[in-house]
Amino acid sequence: MLFPNAGVEVSPVLLLFLGLVVGTLSGFFGVGGGFLITGGLLVFGVPPLFAVGTGLTLIVGSSIINTLKHRRIGNVDIKLGALMVVGTVPAVFLAEELNQWLEKAGVAGPVLRYTYVVVLAALAGYKFYDHWKASRWLVGGQGDAVSTSSLIGRVHALRIPPASIPVPWLGRVFTTTTLPKSGIERISVWVPVGIGSAIGFMAGLLGAGGGFILLPVLIFVLGVPTTVAVGTDLFQVVITGSVGSFLYSLEGRVDLVMSVMMLGTASAGSQLGVAAARYVDGARIRFLFGLTMIAGSVSVALREVSESVSGLDYLADMGSVLLLGTAGAMCRVVGGLLVAAKRKNRAEFA
């Protein structure tokens, strides 16, 4: 099917399937699905900046749906999310300007794909390492323990100046706060603001809501429980994705037909993902997330090699099969975990 705005032909079946798996895994992992949707569109041959803009538009729609669902079950720390947004919004503007410069220089495609490969592989590798460390501490690797408890303590103890700031009608306000929903007794507000800035820049650069980077940061750096990190991450993705989507739409880099097609199946998939996240422990969620990120990294790498080396066009098809096959398998795993957890609950109350 031809999508005139993006100037590319893509199978609508592939787009619908990609929307379904993005919705399911977005609700389960607590990310907007940008690393899947933008990576998937790049693999399908969509021009880089159209993949970025269209991906952001879909992310906003699916993240709003999933955030509302997680909010209802108490998994969103609004205060933490709001602090991060203070740093996120200006950073997204900066990243969008950088992307425009990269496109004018003719290097946007390779830079975005190489960055995807490195970031996804690095994050996935650390998740596997953490899962291995946690499984040594906990029987069967269950629970929500992480391998960075000492780092988390040091981050909470940071006291970044200024210690107070003047606020109209309120006088001087201290720049430390408590985040009871996230289990944080005391932290400098500049820590989440700084994290928001870094995530916002990466989100605007890569065409994602930044959730696939923010989720591990919330868990491994701030020590937020996985279930709360999932919901809070989605809340932040809504804000980041909205700003980024608006900026790219002004440049005409959004294919709305693609976004609407994928959003329909993404909405259906989110029902399954959010429901499963309620029953699965944090360690398993992080491990499965790592597997999915590795698949995304390798698939984008295959696409880049196919475009850089003549005679290797088949690698792009291999990348598509790997990405969609892994994502589809993860959806089946999510469904299986949900069914198993519900059966266990029924047996306990029988």
DSSP state of 182: G
With 0-12 / 13-18 / 19 or more C-beta atoms within 10 angstroms meaning exposed / middle / buried, residue 44 is buried
pLDDT of 272 > 80? The answer is no
**Cα–Cα distance between 51 and 5 in angstroms, integer?**
12
What local confidence, expressed as pLDDT, does residue 137 receive?
47
Q: Are strands 8-9 and 164-167 parallel, antiparallel or unpaired?
A: unpaired
Nearest to 198 by CA among 294, 49, 95: 95
Whole-number pLDDT of residue 35: 63
Over the stretch 61-90, which tens digit does the pLDDT of each residue have? 777 877 887 788 888 899 999 999 888 888
- pLDDT band (50, 70, 90) for residue 140: very low
| pLDDT tens sequence across 295-346 | 878 887 887 788 777 778 788 778 777 877 887 888 888 888 778 877 877 7
Rounded to whole angstroms, how far apart are CA atoms 325 and 7? Answer: 26
Domain locations along the chain: 2-349
Which residue's entry shows tokens 């021009």? Answer: 47
Give the predicted TM-score (pTM) of the model. Answer: 0.67
Mean pLDDT of the chain: 79
d(CA 26, CA 65): 10
Predicted pLDDT at 141: 44
- Range with the largest mean pLDDT of 67-71, 180-184, 259-263, 288-292: 180-184
The yes-or-no verdict on residue 243 having pLDDT over 70 is yes
Enumerate helices (H) and strands (E) in the chain, giving the number of each. Answer: 12, 6
How far apart are the C-alpha atoms of 335 and 4, rounded to whole Å?
Answer: 36
| Predicted confidence (pLDDT) at residue 144 exceeds the cutoff of 60 | no
Q: What are phi and psi of 161, to 5 degrees?
A: -70, 160
Q: How confident is the model at residue 194 (pLDDT cuts 50, 70, 90)?
A: very high
- Contact 319/294 with Cβ under 8 angstroms? no
CA-wise closest residue to 41 among 125, 112, 100:
112
Q: For the residues of 39-50, what is the DSSP string, one character each?
A: HHHHHTT--HHH
